[in-house]
Amino acid sequence: MNDQQTNDAAQEDPSDHMMLLHSDVVHGEEWVTFFGPALSQPVKVKFNLGADGRSRIVGVLIDNDQVVTSKTLREPRLAAMEVKLNNVIRESRQLVLSERSLATKRLASDSDPDAKAREQEHLSNIDIFERRLEHALAKVAVTQGSSSATFGSRGRGATPPSDEDYLHFARLYLEQLAEHPRGAVQATARAAGMNRSTVYRWLEVCRQRQYVPPKDER
């Protein structure tokens, strides 16, 4: 192996050798399955969302009716798995936004009824995918702690919201988004005891901190 090959190997991202397969429900909890050349057996992981909005692995399961050896246990590289998982979440959200933008533009510019029907169906499928993604993330987020924090109105002189306040708010919003995709703001305002303008203001902060998805520009 020459020096260039050695450098390439050293810089190679081990997460590239793993692919997310699908999510499973194990004992009522959501797990994500990894497989790929770096793993001799599929590995299920359970993750929570950290205060910084990134996923953290909190459980590992290898249960495939195959012999588990010390080599099998050494194969899962948790840091690489977290990188892969966060990349997939980020790329999935970016895909939703870009596909929706393209489909909306095509729908507006195409005069053919059949083409319009196809684009409308495509938009519906994008909405379904987004709801499933955010619903799954909402279920993960609420395992980190209760989303029933009391928010209410904050008068003049009140203590500014803490990072924990915003994180609890983000969990509540994601719950409402999963249940009410078209009315999440109103549902969040009702559940949190806030007015809509406050919800929008807190959402902007949560988006800046990447606790919730970017604003939908439809």
Per-residue pLDDT tens digits for 19-49: 555 555 555 567 888 877 788 888 888 887 7
Question: Which is it for the CA torsion 29, 173, 144, 146, positive or negative?
Answer: negative
Give the separation between CA 32 and CA 85, rounded to whole angstroms: 9
Contacts of 174 (CB under 8 A, 6+ apart): 134, 137, 138, 141, 142, 212
Q: Which two tokens stand for residue 216?
A: 């939908």
Q: Express each pLDDT in 162-193 by its tens digit.
A: 877 887 788 788 878 877 888 889 988 888 88
Give the separation between CA 1 and CA 15, rounded to whole angstroms: 22
pLDDT of residue 200: 93
Long-range CB pairs of 95-103, under 8 A, 24+ apart, other chains included: 96/126, 96/129, 96/130, 96/133, 97/214, 97/216, 97/217, 99/126, 100/126, 100/216, 100/218, 101/217
Q: Does domain 145-152+159-218 have CATH number 1.10.10?
A: yes
The conformation of residue 40, written as its DSSP 8-state character, comes to: S
Give the separation between CA 195 and CA 188, rounded to whole angstroms: 9
pLDDT of residue 110: 82
pLDDT of residue 51: 58
pTM: 0.47
pLDDT of residue 206: 86
Q: With a cut of 70, list the residues of the chain below it in pLDDT.
A: 1-29, 50-53, 135-158, 216-218
Domain boundaries for CATH 1.10.10 within the chain: 145-152+159-218
Q: Which two tokens stand for residue 115?
A: 């083409």
